[in-house]
Amino acid sequence: MCALKLKPHRGKEIKLGVMGSRRGRTFMKNAAPAGLKLVAICDNNSTRLDSMRREYPGVKAYDDYERMLKSGIDAVVLANFAHEHAPFAIMALQHGVHVMSESVACRTLAQGVELARTVENSGRIYMYAENYCYIPVIQEMRRRYRQGAIGTALFCQGEYIHPMSTAQTLALTPGHDHWRNWRASTFYSTHAMGPIMYITGERPVAVNARSVPFPSQDDCGQGLRRGDIFAALMCMMSNQSTCITTGWSGLPGHGNWYRVHGSRGLMENIRERGMGQYLRMVHEPWQMRADEQHEVVYDPPPPIQNAAIQYSGHGGSDFFTSYYFAEAIRKGRQPFLNVYRGLDMTIIGIQGWKSCLDNGNGYEIPDFRKESVRKQHENDHFSVFPQDRCLAPNQPPPSVNGFNEPSAAMKKSAEKTWKQMGFKLNELK
């Protein structure tokens, strides 16, 4: 791993641009409370861009990303399509712009190699915006774990369950080749793995995975999705503990749950719809210290007080991504969720899909902190996405059942939904 030579930000303000005005609205709203000055917005949808011009009259609007990068901004938030972040991050870093990237850090190992190298050569901050790490209860679990409250992690679980109806899926996936329609069930595993890494400080080093196809009946929100409804990933962590996670699961029962069994106790957030804000801690009688109880449940406050937390999305965690990004820029210090950890929690999805297609056999999670490891994967273009078919022969299917083709009736229903949403069908083919 190369030493990253960074300097603190010397300006009075950090000028921010946001790429993507749908999900990006959250970052626009959180910019000022987090200590960032929103000066630019970019989107290739003219209707949304016009709406942003009206909502933020003093902010410049661009339909060309590179023009925005050259406009004098200090930092950019990437809130564009999840599978397209790496090329946009690389371009920004090459223009001397700090980057905060959402969703997944890369869609192929080759992209991950290029991203890690570019961050090291740029002298700029790269933060991976895994917002679920910053849910207040997860931040409290990290604090307690670092105090030694449950000893050393032995077994962890992380679940991200987000079911949708077919109507909701179609509304969220405009386009036959929309990334959500083609993603493998392991692909978006960061919401499940990220908090476990944040709490324990460990990284995944190997993965075995299994995928479950959509059922042939019932409304499970398949829509035009070619992938599967659910995958389970079993990872060995860097301290030889085991962690079981889901990818982005479409199973019924919306919620997020994280459990850490340590050598002298248990901590977990209470399962409930939404973000699961209550923390449960358990110590067996023979493990309890004088100041501990057998079982305690409480609602931890956020680590800092800011009015924006109350209206920020995802249980307040969206505020904290912007806040810690601004802090990293001011101090000239890469954040905890740096490029390497972003790649670690992303790559379990890529390697996990290889495992699913290989009868659950184990795959290493390459450590891209090491150039010797990166050289081994710089030409690995394994990808389920249609735009990557030209990069390598025999690209994998997005389902364990192969390349599923939606019915003519479902395609017709989808196109009707998209037309009602205002999309031009010739642009969605």
Round to whole Å and give the CA distance between 343 and 211: 22
| Residue entry with tokens 């944040």 | 198
Write out the two tokens for 138.
């997860």
CATH architecture, range 133-308+339-368:
2-Layer Sandwich (3.30)
Helix (H) or strand (E) holding 69: helix 65-69
DSSP 266-282: EEEEPP-SSS---EEEE
- How far the first Cα of the chain sits from its last, in Å, is 42
The residue length of the chain stands at 429
Q: Are 285 and 291 in contact (CB under 8 A)?
A: no
Round to whole Å and give the CA distance between 201 and 239: 10
Round to whole Å and give the CA distance between 71 and 17: 9
Write out the two tokens for 330.
């001011």
Name the pTM for this structure: 0.95
Round to whole Å and give the CA distance between 118 and 285: 51
Write out the two tokens for 61.
């609007």
Radius of gyration of the chain (CA): 21
Neighbours of 171 (CB within 10 A): 16
Any residues with CB less than 8 A from the CB of 330 and at least 6 apart, and which?
8, 9, 14, 35
Per-residue burial over 194-209, b if 16 or more Cβ lie within 10 Å, else e, is bbbbbbbebbbbebbb
Tens of each residue's pLDDT in the chain, 429 residues: 544 568 788 777 999 999 999 899 999 999 999 999 999 999 988 888 999 999 999 999 999 999 999 999 999 999 998 899 999 999 999 999 999 999 899 999 999 999 999 999 999 999 999 999 999 999 999 999 999 999 999 999 999 999 999 999 999 998 889 999 999 999 999 999 999 999 999 999 999 999 999 998 788 889 899 999 999 999 999 999 999 999 889 999 888 999 999 999 999 999 876 677 899 999 999 999 999 999 999 999 999 888 788 778 888 899 999 999 999 999 999 999 999 999 999 999 999 999 999 999 999 999 999 999 999 999 999 999 999 999 999 999 999 999 989 989 989 999 999 988 888 766 565
Q: Are 377 and 354 in contact (CB under 8 A)?
A: no
Cα dist. 218→158, 215, 229, 290 in Å? 26, 7, 12, 53
Round to whole Å and give the CA distance between 164 and 400: 21
Three-class DSSP category at 91: helix
